[in-house]
Amino acid sequence: MTDERVVLLTGGTGGAKLAAGMAQALPEGALTAIANTGDDIEIYGAYVSPDPDLVCFWLGGLIDERGWGLRGDTFAVMDGLRALGRDVWFNLGDRDLAWCMERSRMLADGATHGEALAALGGHIGLSARVLPMCEQPVRTWVSAGEDSDPIPFQEYMIRRRAVGPVHDVQFRGARQARPSEEVLRALKGASAIVIGPSNPIVSIGPILAVPGMREALAASPAPVVAVSPIVGGEVLKGPTADFMSHAGLPLSAAGVARCYEPLLDGIVADEPVGGLQLRQTDTAMPDAGARLRLAREVIAFARSLG
């Protein structure tokens, strides 16, 4: 296919790894990632956008081996805050902070989130586009564990260490949101749409909760393929099990497929799924080779459904 334009819906780690593989598998400029902004947080006078940034850092080959943040980053500012008595629960490296501060400045100067992210991405030489799912503030709040008051997602993940069970998930502000023009154009012009192996409820969920997003996926002529985040029957990272359980879905590729119904034309998973086109393959991405191999398989599978 000469004019391949793949759109990837993604949250953090799993989807970001697949994005890195896809960027390698595809011609320059052929990949557009639409990233969850429900985890965004304003802290330290900066605008932090964890999922879009993780995708950028993976795409730019800058991700640290700890799995978040910039490789080799230092933490002098966080150390400085701790020395001043601050409870530093949200850790951010110095260059990561600079990245987020620069986004804040651009936003204050009137840039859209999409424009700010594009400018930041340009400075690290990204060849793929990363788009925030929308320009309006959508914030994921979670009620979980013993204290069932809803709290912002990052506090649940970091302060509460994602202790379940999950009682409620809210995408605050979602009703007032809408996909940006760039997002709609990317979906409309896509030759394939891939839902990355991210948490279906709290990573992909906010994206699909933006009014008009499901409709835009359904209206796109492109086949829609999901990649199951469940590997060997388990979730490799994050609290997906608690959220699937809360949603009444089994922790399986079939459960993931059900979550995205009726959007999917096919699914990529390492286990059988009934009633849907399936590419059964090893979905683990422990290294660059595995990411590239899976990306190629996902793209070929989507192409076969087009």
Site of interaction with a copy of itself (CB under 8 A): 44-46, 73-74, 76-81, 83-86, 94-99, 101-102, 104-105, 119-120, 123
- Looking at beta carbons only, is 99 or 260 nearer to a copy of itself? 99
Q: For the CB of residue 146, give the shortest distance to a copy of itself in the complex, in Å.
A: 27
- Looking at beta carbons only, is 85 or 262 nearer to a copy of itself? 85
Q: For the CB of residue 76, give the shortest distance to a copy of itself in the complex, in Å.
A: 3
Q: For the CB of residue 89, give the shortest distance to a copy of itself in the complex, in Å.
A: 13
Alpha-carbon span 143 to 172, nearest angstrom: 13
Instruction: Single out the residue of 17, 22, 54 nearest to residue 36, CA to CA.
Output: 54
Which amino acid makes up residue 306?
A: G
Tokens encoding 279: 């590419």
**No. of helices (H) and no. of strands (E), the chain:** 12, 14
CB 224 within 8 A of CB 306: no
- Looking at beta carbons only, is 97 or 302 nearer to a copy of itself? 97
Tokens encoding 247: 């949603």
Q: For the CB of residue 115, give the shortest distance to a copy of itself in the complex, in Å.
A: 14
Mapped onto helix, strand or coil, the DSSP state of residue 280 is strand
Residue at token pair 């759109």: 7
Q: For the CB of residue 99, give the shortest distance to a copy of itself in the complex, in Å.
A: 7
- Looking at beta carbons only, is 82 or 175 nearer to a copy of itself? 82
CB 163 within 8 A of CB 144: yes
- Looking at beta carbons only, is 44 or 243 nearer to a copy of itself? 44
